[in-house]
Amino acid sequence: MKLIIANWKMYPTLSDSLVLAPSLRSSLAEVKGVEVVIAPPLAWLVSVVESWRGSVPHISFAAQNVWPEDQGAFTGESSAYLLKNMVKYALVGHSERRHLQEESNDLVNEKLMSCLRWQIRPILCVGEEKKIFNSQGQSDDKQLDNLTKQLSDGLYGVKEEDMDRVVIAYEPVWAIGTSNPATGEYAARVIAVLRDQVAKKYSRATAGKARFLYGGSVSPSNTDQFLREEGVDGLLVGSVSVKSRDFVSICRAAAQYR
């Protein structure tokens, strides 16, 4: 079953969110064979969750970020401990936070471990600044090393038995919010490298069961290009996810890949 995550980022207002959420609930409740996760802005998370009115088994919520400490003098932050009863998932290490808030690999790892401690499934985001593989098939070793280090540092201390709760989202920075997404073939090639890293750290069996997503300018027009690739287990959708019709179209397409 494919996993599709709607990262609403900081786009919708409260009124927008309270219109968008029931629209998605109505449209996606009967779309079987796909798992959908919605990540509203933190300011609206409680309102959206409370407005949901009953569970839909294949739809859940995610936090866009968490702070690694459980409680304390951390103005403006929310921890996995505080969010544990509202969300099933949480994004950690999103490229925008790595860039704008200068979050280090160590901090991302602390957030991931906090999520696991409070039974929230972390979505570990990793991605390179520039293309790793060019059109001639040659690789940029510096970009590749930075990417694999994000993964290895992010998973530091994670036990093999906990890997079934960790999702890894590959989001090339150069493709996010642009008209130049990666191709399905490129994404699958990089994800294969990342999966090999997991196999080396744990086992081939664990790597085979790990869920890897692609994120970066995903749209209804390129959804199939990614999901038909072996090893791509779902999508992390950004700005398009606040457009109900487009996001539902992506989820319907994903439901065909059971």
DSSP 62: E
Report d(CA 97, CA 9) in Å as an integer: 11
Residue 100's H or E segment, with its range, is: helix 95-100
Nearest to 87 by CA among 38, 135, 139: 38
Residues with a known catalytic role: 94, 171
Report d(CA 224, CA 255) in Å as an integer: 11
> First-to-last CA distance in the chain?
5
Strands (E) located in the chain: 2-7, 34-39, 59-63, 89-92, 121-126, 167-170, 211-215, 234-237
